[in-house]
Chain A
Amino acid sequence: MSERVNPRAVGLFGLVALLFVGTGFLQSWNVTLTILNMGLISAIMALGVNMQWGYAGLFNVGIMGFVALGGLGAVFVSMPPDTEAIAAGGGRVLGGLLLGAATVIAAIFVWRRGGRYAGWLMVAVLIAGFLLYRAVLDPGVDAIEAVSPANRGSIGGLGLPVLLSWPVGGLLAAGAAWIIGKTALGLRSDYLAIATLGIAEIIIAMMKNEDWLARGVKNVIGVPRPVPYEVDLQQAQAFRDFAAGFGADTVTASAIVVKLAYAGLFAVVLLFLIWLSQAALASPWGRMMRAIRDNEVAAEAMGKDVTQRHLQIFILGSAVLGLAGAMMVTFDGQLTPTSYQPLRYTFLIWVMVIVGGSGNNWGAVLGGFLIWWLWVEVEPLGALLMQGITAGMTDGSWLKSHLLDAAAHMRLLTMGVILLLVLRFSPRGLLPEK
């Protein structure tokens, strides 16, 4: 792929570019750039899923959890620390978490070495450990959450530059993937799917519930930015002259410049990841992964450690998802745990990978841009369509208002139809693997 350019790929990417440019002319360039930025992030998520599914055939439907963990990483790294809260309960929380980890390790140890009564001993260790953990942790948590809960009430973060949080978000997701992979990767395909689906829900439940961590459902707002603020730009004389040079309004120009800066940052990350994944796929390692995917038994007979390789690719793919999650929180400037919905953050990414072409990195990226554009634009298009359909109906009729209201739900229907059509008529995606 890297040597010869595939005309089909060029054509399809050109088409998607046309969609974005068309949006710019018909709607506004501001909208286009917003879609483009989220499209870049979606493409990175699709790359991560493509590693797990396309290279190794792992069916992970816990994407949402890893993305959310990445977002948590962004908050941890970039928000200023709340020294008062940490002084109030930080020690207890840390102690509690260490006790929890020690309990799990002790339970595993007992399970392996316990002899005849291993099961009962493990249960006893877990129960005792849990009670101890809650006894140490709870007062600390209460103390932290009591520190002016209306606008603080969490431990804050490290106060480091937000760009640093992107790899940290990836690391956090990778760590979670290691734990999950250790327990769940031995399961068969369907079980792995359900297990990851559930683990993602648990991660979200934890983020909603543990206020001391990142304020839970009270949300974290004002995550620091890697790019200048619009307001600062608007006040800078140099920028006003620059905007005037284009004959543009200062407010619009500042919004566009900020989004372009984000797009530049995201594009650098995306290109770097594509380069890495293409190189990996072409290497002996990539050949081994595909061999394992296509025939696990044969690969195992050739002396490949299938379980270890699966764990490896699961962690790598999840790290990419975490990275994308941290980037998304940076772009949004806030962490809102309630906004993480499986339809949007798990299943939509799957549509991107399947439609784009599983096993093909460029396909996944194409799917990311195309499906994200559709996801955003189907709503106004659906509204237009409904206006067309209902134009002949009398104003104020029950059916007319119902149809106009319902146009907002067109996007789910469209995504399902697209997924099924591609799966049926082009099962290997728009850009198939070679």
Chain B
Amino acid sequence: MEPLHALVTLANFVIVPAVAYGSQLALGALGVTLIYGILRFSNFAHGDTMAFGTMAVILATWGLQSMGVGFGPLPTALLALPVGIAAAALLLLGTDRAIYRFYRKKKAAPVTFVIASLGVMFIYNGITRFIIGVDDQRFADGERFLVSAGGFRDATGLDEPLVIKSTQAITVVVVVVVVAVLFWFLNRTRTGKSMRAYSDNEDLALLSGINPERVVTYTWLIVAGLATIAGTLYGLDKSFKPFTYFQLLLPIFAAAIVGGLGNPIGAIAGGFVIAFAEVTVTYPLKKVLGYFLPESLAPDGLVQLLSTDYKFAVSFMILILVLLIRPTGLFRGKSV
């Protein structure tokens, strides 16, 4: 029983939260990596794009709720997703036309794009705060738990509880669907193939008659979808606060770089690497070890390697290590 208890404890406090968080990071990192692959710059406005899309979803959710529309046991926000994606897509395409296209025509250096994206970041940040304010917003409704502590104990007879929030389960299901659709699109459709061709070799793609503006438009549309879904899932799981989304930029970038910028599979792997590292290193392992080790060796302290405030530090330690040892990331990425 002891190892089983240890496993359940570990699953409850480390594996389940890390899988959910990792899925959210993976979607965010996919957006960053697509922009890097096609438009060739690190988009600092990505966190705020997520915040904007989520805000649109929240407003639509409130609208639906006030009309009495619900989604049964599932959160109403899932119904509101298309509205959020559409809003984010309009914003991103508008931004591209007004700002990025000019620099693309001029073939400006990547760092100019990055600086422009800093300006865009300020503007998105301002818009989001302007519309919804800076406070925490909770918009999750429907069933709260898929597996509740008491239910799990009654069903298995174990002492340790296992809790799976429904938002965590929804996150994983949605992310699996989205990633499957995305990879089908990139690998099987004509547009997806032209996007990959453009990312691999711009000149060759142009020579074979691929329209670059079309590729860029599709990229922004996909990014709008990914960012809004990632932001909504994160907001459902935790809560929505514009500043938190801005800070999410850090682990998302870390995930994209660890996996290899420009490489979609790398972005997903990177998301999980970062999430597991963050959760494991900042979780007190005392209980888990207590089940494994004999009484005399049981640790006195909490065996928390680092306090929770250092979770950013963890992702960046991994980032720096990967960059020093494998500068293009775990999977072959590119570097401008």
Contact = CB atoms under 8 A, between A and B. Distances in A.
Given A191-B335, A198-B312, A413-B126, A423 B319 contact: no
A409 B335 contact: no
B127 interface: yes
A194 B309 contact: no
Given A193-B114, A195-B323, A202-B312, A423 B119 contact: yes
A230 interface: no
Interface in B107-141: 110-112, 114-116, 118-127, 129-131, 133-134
A411 B127 CA distance: 11
B34 to A, nearest CB: 15
B246 A343 contact: yes
Contact of A343 (B125, B133, B323): B125
Contact of A194 (B42, B122, B133): B42
A137 to B, nearest CB: 12
A199 B164 CA distance: 34
Secondary structure of the B contact surface, majority rule: helix
Contacts of B312: 198, 201-202, 205
Contacts of A423: 112, 115-116, 119
A194 B125 contact: no
Given A195-B316, A195-B320, A420-B99, A209 B307 contact: yes
Contacts of A400: none
Contact of A201 (B41, B112, B316, B320): B316
Interface in A391-425: 405-406, 409-417, 419-420, 423-424
Contact of B130 (A184, A197, A198, A413): A413
Contacts of B41: 190
Contacts, number: 134
A416 B121 contact: yes
Interface string A121-148: 0000000001000000010000000000
B275 to A, nearest CB: 16
Given A409-B126, A409-B129, A59 B114 contact: yes
A414 B122 CA distance: 8
Nearest to A407: B130
A17 interface: no
Given A190-B41, A190-B261, A198-B316, A413 B123 contact: yes
A194 B327 CA distance: 13
B324 interface: yes
A interface bracket (residues with beta carbon within 8 Å of B): 35 or more
B123 A198 contact: no
A195 B122 contact: no
Contact of B122 (A138, A205, A416, A424): A416
Nearest to B311: A205
B250 A197 contact: yes
Residue from B111, B114, B119, B123 with most neighbouring chain A CB atoms (10 Å): B119
Contacts of A410: 126, 130
Given A195-B320, A419-B119, A423-B119, A190 B310 contact: no
A412 B127 CA distance: 9
Contact of A413 (B122, B247, B307): B122
Contact of A354 (B110, B115, B134, B257): B115
Contact of A412 (B126, B253, B257): B126
B18 to A, nearest CB: 20
Residue from B111, B122, B257, B327 with most neighbouring chain A CB atoms (10 Å): B122
A342 B116 CA distance: 17
Contacts of B253: 194, 197-198
B4 interface: no
29 contacts: A130-B305, A138-B301, A187-B323, A188-B335, A189-B114, A191-B327, A194-B253, A197-B250, A197-B253, A198-B250, A198-B254, A201-B247, A202-B316, A209-B309, A209-B310, A343-B122, A343-B125, A405-B133, A406-B129, A409-B126, A409-B129, A410-B126, A413-B126, A415-B119, A416-B120, A416-B122, A417-B119, A419-B122, A424-B99
